[in-house]
């Protein structure tokens, strides 16, 4: 697959932006299969891992990637994530110093502080192309699929996956057309979860990425708390 370079915005525009793993002009993927287990047998290579949190490797959850942007989580049960790519812009340097890159082709942003006490990379917004299929970022079992009101106002769907290995939950927000149910097994880069939900307001990441794309919010959480993320 030929990578596409996209421009993003911070204080200004970069000549080279974040890598997308699907060529420009390729049609959006088809919606996820209605039976998650049917997609578990495949020889395809997994999408690249973009972060690690408590030994949980998070793989890029779509071939329609536009940008990866880390920020402070709302609650203390979210673990610190270690980005694996190259930091293109960091606006929270008092909390975060970019580590050595593991994947030099994947580039990411660390957004400015939201005034929260949690690590600068305890949550991540994965910006995606419109109608891009979202696939599981980890191997595991679905523990919960819940409709809720984001900020008490906006309809949204939350998916929780019990990751294989360490006892951690991977949480995804801002989804639509979710076809998974509790107990379904998922495979990283293979099992379709749903489509991204376009939020009806400007998000923090919209100040960094040009084009008003939808994004999916991800966290790795310890098992104790059950707060809603934002």
Q: What is the pLDDT of residue 18?
A: 41
Q: What is the pLDDT of residue 183?
A: 97
Q: Name the stretches of the chain with pLDDT < 50.
A: 1-41, 227, 229-230
Contacts 24+ apart (CB under 8 A), 116-120: 116/72, 116/73, 116/74, 117/72, 117/76, 118/72, 118/73, 118/74, 118/75, 118/76, 118/78, 119/72, 119/73, 119/80, 119/81, 119/95, 120/70, 120/71, 120/72, 120/92, 120/95, 120/96
**Cα–Cα distances in Å, from 223 out to 136, 155, 167?**
19, 25, 7
Burial zone of 71 (CB within 10 Å; 0-12 exposed, 13-18 middle, 19+ buried)? buried
Dist. CA 164–CA 162, nearest whole Å: 7
**Cα–Cα distances in Å, from 143 out to 11, 54, 137, 165, 182?**
40, 19, 15, 15, 5
Q: What is the pLDDT of residue 224?
A: 64
Q: What percent of the chain lies above the pLDDT cut of 70?
A: 78
- Confirm whether pTM is higher than 0.95: no
């Amino acid at each position: 697959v030929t990578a596409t370079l996209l421009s993003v915005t911070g204080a200004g525009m970069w000549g080279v932006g974040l890598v997308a793993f699907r060529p420009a002009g390729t049609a959006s993927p088809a919606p996820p299969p209605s039976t998650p287990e049917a997609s578990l047998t495949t020889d395809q290579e997994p999408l690249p891992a973009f972060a690690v949190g408590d030994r949980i490797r998070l793989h890029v959850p779509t071939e329609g990637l536009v940008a990866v942007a880390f920020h402070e989580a709302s609650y203390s049960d979210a673990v610190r994530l270690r980005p694996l790519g190259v930091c293109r812009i960091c606006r929270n340097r008092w909390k975060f110093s970019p580590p050595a890159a593991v994947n030099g082709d994947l580039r990411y942003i660390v957004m400015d502080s939201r005034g929260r006490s949690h690590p600068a990379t305890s949550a991540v917004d994965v910006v995606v192309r419109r109608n891009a299929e979202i696939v599981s970022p980890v191997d595991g079992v679905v523990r919960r699929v819940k409709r809720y009101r984001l900020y008490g106002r906006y309809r949204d769907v939350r998916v929780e996956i019990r990751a294989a290995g360490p006892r951690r939950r991977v949480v995804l927000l801002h989804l639509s057309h979710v076809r998974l149910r509790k107990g379904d097994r998922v495979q990283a880069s293979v099992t379709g979860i749903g489509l991204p939900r376009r939020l009806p307001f400007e998000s923090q990441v919209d100040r960094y990425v040009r084009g008003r794309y939808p994004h999916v919010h991800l966290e790795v959480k310890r098992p104790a708390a059950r707060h809603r993320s934002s």
